[in-house]
Chains A and B, each alone.
Chain A
Amino acid sequence: MADRPIDQEFTITRVFDAPRELVWKAWTDPDQMARWYGPRGISTPRSTITMDVRPGGTFELTMVDDADGSEYPSGGTFLEVEEPERLVWRDRDIDLLVTITFVDLGGRTEMTCHVAGRTGGAQAYDGWSTMFDDLAAFLDRPT
Chain B
Amino acid sequence: MPVDQLSSTFSALADPTRRAILDRLADGEATLTELAAPFPVTVQSVSKHLKVLEHAGLVTRGRAAQWRPARLRGRPLEDAAGWLARYRQFFEASFDRLDDHLRTLQREPDG
* Chain A residues with a Cβ under 8 A of chain B: 7-10, 12, 14, 16-18, 22-23, 26, 32, 35-42, 65, 67-68, 70-72, 94, 96, 111, 113, 115, 117, 119-122, 124-125, 127-129, 132, 135-136
Collect the chain A residues with CB atoms within 8 Å of residue B89's CB. Answer: 39
The contact of A41 among B7, B13, B81, by CB within 8 Å, is: B7
Interface contact B11-A36, CB-CB below 8 Å:
no
Tell yes or no: B55 within 8 A of A by CB.
no
Among A7, A36, A119, A127, residue most surrounded by chain B Cβ atoms (within 10 Å) = A36
List A contacts of B95 (CB < 8 A): 12, 14, 111, 113
Evaluate contact between B84 and A119: CB separation under 8 angstroms.
Answer: yes
Please name 19 pairs of A and B residues whose Cβ atoms are closer than 8 Å in the assembled complex, sorted by A.
Answer: A8-B80, A17-B103, A22-B102, A36-B94, A36-B98, A37-B94, A39-B6, A39-B93, A41-B4, A94-B87, A111-B95, A115-B88, A117-B84, A121-B80, A124-B78, A124-B79, A128-B77, A129-B19, A132-B19
Interface of B is mostly: helix
Tally of chain B residues near chain A (CB < 8 A): 37
B87 and A96 contacting across the interface, CB-CB below 8 Å: yes
Report yes or no: B105 in contact with A18, Cβ–Cβ below 8 A: yes
- Nearest-neighbor residue (CB-CB) of A118 within chain B: B80
Contact B7 A115 (CB under 8 A): no
